[in-house]
Amino acid sequence: MSILVNKNSKIVVQGFTGKEGTFHATQMIEYGTNVIGGVTPGKGGEKHLDRPVFNTVADARKATGCNVSIIFVPPAFAGDAIMEAADAGVELIVCITEGIPVQDMVKAKAYLTAKKSRLIGPNCPGIITPEEAKVGIMPAFVFKKGKIGIVSKSGTLTYEAADQVVKAGLGVSTAIGIGGDPIIGTTTKEAVELFMNDPETEGIIMIGEIGGSLEAEAARWVKANGTKPVVGFIAGQTAPAGRRMGHAGAIIGGKDDTAAAKMQIMRECGITVVDSPAAIGETMAKVLKSSAVVA
């Protein structure tokens, strides 16, 4: 079982014929992902990677019934690309692009409120359902099929968590990199909720970082609604206040934005928190075993 994407998802690539779009679309196709075509304005009617190219997402949607779009469009145009996909009715939009102007994302986020599309990202590695579909830029060989859901702000830590989970003999149901920008689509809480509602996901790993309140909101939701064990990690435990660390959203603006404060909130909400990403897999295995004993 999976959430958001699977072997039947019909994926279209925005920025299909560009350097990044070409490289990562090739990787996705080689993994077995159902990439049915792409969009590059002015190149409609051509073929690329043996798949059709369309001028607009609306054209691609009409011709193929695509229900997932992945965006490899330069920052200045990515906000419009998100809105174009939503306007075409694409159910899931995954935006990989980093460095989108905040004002553009404010506009795109507001536009999405009136649409039925779900956005993952921007500035994210995407989504992978192991052995079914890779919609993003992650190193697929790290991921093996299993029953642990991963939601993370960090791409690198998504891969590290997956590796730890696989080494612990568990495997991954779906992994989602939600992105580290100040304004993103799907939040940590929303992703955790999807995993809680997935009958084939038995445990959840939640990876956050300094800045913002997404982890605290997710933790409080887990306390009130959680039915599965959650293991958490917060990156940036030694970060100084007021200094951005990597992601645009990773900046401590108040006392609740620190790693220590977030970790404390998570513990108070019943989440098992680890101090090092190296302990994620073994901790998840222990928590699952103990929860099974209790059950």
Kindly name the residue from 134, 189, 228, 247 that is annotated as catalytic.
247
Structure tokens at 262: 């977030």
Residue 48 appears among annotated catalytic residues? no
The answer to whether 11 touches 133, Cβ cutoff 8 Å, is yes
Q: CB atoms < 10 A from the CB of 29, how many?
A: 17
Give the angle subtended at the CA of 28 by the CAs of 137 and 119, to the nearest 5°. Answer: 60
Comparing CA positions, the residue from 42, 18, 35 lying closest to residue 70 is 35
Q: What is the 3-state secondary structure (H, E, C) of 195-242?
A: HHCCCCCCEEEEEEECCCCHHHHHHHHHHHHCCCCEEEEEECCCCCCC
User: What is the torsion angle, in degrees rounded to the nearest 10, for the CA atoms of residue 176, residue 184, residue 277 and residue 244?
Assistant: 160
Q: What is the Cα–Cα distance from 60 to 45, expressed in whole angstroms? A: 11
Which active-site residues does the annotation give? 247
